[in-house]
């Protein structure tokens, strides 16, 4: 199965026409038709339903379309990487992560990396989809609050504080931190139950034998903060504060409530050493730059929750 023929297949699938596809890939139409028939012969199945002047993907063709796109994308990526290496350039990496992690960790890291930064793109995904996209090679490594599945190399990158975000006029806003018992006596704003921060809150409340009154359950962290800014409750998030909200770390009997972020990658990845160095660099960057809200609101008593330069690969897989 040649990449050239896969590109022909994709051109026909995208245009729905042999004539337009032939012009796009700059191949004579009879030759293109023969190449497609050859591909179908190799696969032992018809990829198209043929009608006068029109080709439509068959059910098998629809399934094969995603496979072909993935193969061509990987080949193009490999070619770009080899070209960069041949020119002595560094390899640009792509991560996959949830939106909050992108906004609060990865985007600031990219901004601080300058022209030679190793991370050049991030694919946004729901936490439940991060490892699936990594497995399908949509990214070189992942950053997620869920512990990685077995078979991946991983390290704990940092432990990000969970904040009680509230209007600065709130009676608790001047505290260096708020205890879970006091917090849950207030109306709170939470994300849905599949959100990692919400799960942490629910687990901590269960361990403490506490219940809480939900003022609002929302799908957007920005909306949660907006509701808090409007005085309609205290938002429980790991996001940095916006709308000039006070951000208080949350104390529990076991210590401060924190989200653990894991960096994970395929141990057979061709750029695994570059990935490991990049994950370590992100961890160190976070350690230096990303605790301003906690320090600003919690004072000297706030504990830095980052792993820093220590690798925790085996522990991250447990």
**Has residue 116 got a pLDDT over 50?**
yes
Residue partners of 33: CB distance under 8 A and separation at least 6: 18
Domain ranges of the chain: 3-86, 93-160+259-294+305-316, 163-256
Q: What are the backbone angles phi and psi of residue 172, rounded to the nearest 5°?
A: -90, -5
Looking up tokens 């005085």, which residue turns up? 231
Residue 87 confidence (pLDDT): 60
Residue 100 confidence (pLDDT): 82
Report the alpha-carbon distance of residue 91 to residue 114 in Å, rounded: 14
> Which CATH fold would you assign to the domain 93-160+259-294+305-316?
D-Maltodextrin-Binding Protein; domain 2 (3.40.190)
- Render pLDDT for 64-91 as a digit per residue (tens, 0 to 9): 988 888 888 777 767 766 665 566 555 6
Looking up tokens 């990049």, which residue turns up? 278
- Render pLDDT for 169-227 as a digit per residue (tens, 0 to 9): 999 999 999 999 999 999 999 998 878 889 899 999 999 999 998 999 998 899 999 99
**Has residue 293 got a pLDDT over 70?**
no
Domains 3-86 and 93-160+259-294+305-316 share a fold: no
Starting at the edge strand that comes first in sequence, how are the strands of the sheet with 258-265 ordered?
Answer: 119-124, 93-97, 141-144, 258-265, 153-161
Which of 3.30.230.10, 3.40.190.290, 2.40.30.260, 2.60.40.10 would CATH assign to domain 163-256?
A: 3.40.190.290
pLDDT category, 264, cuts 50, 70, 90?
A: very high
**Spatial contact of 72 and 61, defined as CB atoms under 8 Å apart:** no
Dig out the tokens for 316 from the structure: 């991250």
The separation between CA 63 and the C-alpha centre of its own chain, rounded to angstroms, equals 26
**Spatial contact of 21 and 15, defined as CB atoms under 8 Å apart:** yes
**Spatial contact of 264 and 140, defined as CB atoms under 8 Å apart:** no
- Percent above pLDDT 70 for the chain: 86
Residue 312 confidence (pLDDT): 38
Residue 138 confidence (pLDDT): 82
The pTM of this model reads 0.60
Residue 315 confidence (pLDDT): 33
Dig out the tokens for 226 from the structure: 């907006």
Question: Has domain 3-86 been given CATH number 1.10.10.10?
Answer: yes
- Render pLDDT for 8-20 as a digit per residue (tens, 0 to 9): 999 988 888 888 8
């Amino acid at each position: 199965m040649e990449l050239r023929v896969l590109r022909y297949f994709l051109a026909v699938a995208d245009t729905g026409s042999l004539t337009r596809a032939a012009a796009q890939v700059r191949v004579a139409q009879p030759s293109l038709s023969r190449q497609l028939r050859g591909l179908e012969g190799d696969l032992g199945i018809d990829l198209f339903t043929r009608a006068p002047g029109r080709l439509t993907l068959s059910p098998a063709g629809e399934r094969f379309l995603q496979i072909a796109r993935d193969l061509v994308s990987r080949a193009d990526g490999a070619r770009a990487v080899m070209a960069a290496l041949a020119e002595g350039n560094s390899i640009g990496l792509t991560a996959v992560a949830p939106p909050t992690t992108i906004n609060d960790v990865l985007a600031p890291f990219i901004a601080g990396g300058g022209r030679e930064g190793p991370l050049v793109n991030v694919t946004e995904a729901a936490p439940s989809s991060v490892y699936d996209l990594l497995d399908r090679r949509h990214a070189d490594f992942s950053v997620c609050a869920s512990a990685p599945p077995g078979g991946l190399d991983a390290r704990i990158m940092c432990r990000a504080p969970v904040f009680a975000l509230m209007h600065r006029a709130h009676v608790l806003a001047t505290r260096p931190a708020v205890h879970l018992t006091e917090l849950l006596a207030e109306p709170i704003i939470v994300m849905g139950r599949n959100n990692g921060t919400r799960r942490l809150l629910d687990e901590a409340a269960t361990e403490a034998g506490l219940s809480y009154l939900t003022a609002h359950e929302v799908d957007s962290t920005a909306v949660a903060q907006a509701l808090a800014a409007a005085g309609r409750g205290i938002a429980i998030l790991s996001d940095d504060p916006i709308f000039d909200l006070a951000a208080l770390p949350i104390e529990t009997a076991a210590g401060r409530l924190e989200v653990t972020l894991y960096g994970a990658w395929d141990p057979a990845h061709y750029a695994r050493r570059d990935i490991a160095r990049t994950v370590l660099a992100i961890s160190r960057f976070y350690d230096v730059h990303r605790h301003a809200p906690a320090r600003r609101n919690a004072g000297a008593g706030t504990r830095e929750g980052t792993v820093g330069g220590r690798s925790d690969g085996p522990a991250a897989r447990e």
